[in-house]
Amino acid sequence: MSAVLTFMMAFTISLAEGQDAMVTKIATAMTDSLAYLQLTAQQKTNAQALNTTAATSLVQIAQKAKADTSFKGKAVAQQVMGIMKQRNAGLTKMLTPDQLKLFEEHRLQQMAELQTKMMTAQLDLTDAQVPQVYAINLESTREMMEGMEKVQDSKRKLQKARAAKSIKSDSKDKDKELKKILSQDQYAKYEKNKEAMQAAMKEKMKEKKG
């Protein structure tokens, strides 16, 4: 379950249920969303504890956002991302190597799905185009994440510059592949909306990095 969806759940659940009930409902939903990992009983217990801690903080932020209209936008997003980053850090420590691989792949798929949904709405993709665009987005997201990790791991400026150049090259390759699939009108719209979409994906990638 993504940070955005989790926070929206916290924000929309009625305060009349009481804080404990909200926390339990959100934590359980977060744990259920990990079913694909086939957690052991002990792992599930540990995950539920991590999710309860995260859910408690998310509910508190949601309540603050409802009470204080000036607390919104980037300020809220940064706190939500921080909570989910801490939760994900704890979660990845308890996973087996195979589970961790699944977890990372699942989050890559979520990012590719987000991009594809945005493009479907913006470009009015056909049923035939959607799976093709998703495949391009998935590969591009994987390459971009690998590039970002290289940039962060590089200790020398030259290494960082090379890694950053590689990311730009991957982005150009993605555009070339999309141009083969999209109509001229769709591609023109894609070019126009690309900057906003990239900004949204950077935020999503920060969440994943956590």
pTM for this predicted structure: 0.64
**CA proximity to 208, closest of 152, 133, 164, 134:** 152
**CA proximity to 29, closest of 56, 57, 48:** 48
Q: Where are the domains of the chain?
A: 3-95, 101-209
On whether the CB atoms of residues 69 and 37 are closer than 8 A, the answer is: no
Q: What is the DSSP string of 78-139?
A: HHHHHHHHHHHHHHHHHS-HHHHHHHHHHHHHHHHHHHHHHHHHHHT--TTHHHHHHHHHHH
Q: Read off the tokens for 202.
A: 């950077």
On whether the CB atoms of residues 133 and 178 are closer than 8 A, the answer is: yes
pLDDT (tens place) for every residue of the chain, 210 residues total? 555 455 455 555 544 456 788 888 888 988 998 999 999 999 999 999 999 999 888 888 877 777 777 766 667 777 877 888 899 899 999 999 999 999 988 888 888 888 888 889 888 999 999 999 999 999 888 887 776 665 555 566 665 566 555 556 667 888 899 999 999 999 998 888 776 666 655 665 555 554
Q: Which long-range contacts (CB under 8 A, 24 or more apart) does 77-81 make?
A: 77/203, 80/3, 80/4, 80/6, 80/7, 81/3, 81/203, 81/206, 81/207, 81/210
Task: Quickly count: other Cβ atoms within 10 Å of residue 4's Cβ.
Answer: 16
On whether the CB atoms of residues 24 and 48 are closer than 8 A, the answer is: no
CA distances from 46 to 19, 59, 84, 176 (A): 21, 20, 16, 45
Please report the pLDDT score of residue 14 as a whole number. Answer: 45
Q: How far apart are the first and last CA of the chain?
A: 14
How far apart (Å, rounded) are the C-alpha atoms in residues 123 and 87?
35
On whether the CB atoms of residues 10 and 58 are closer than 8 A, the answer is: yes
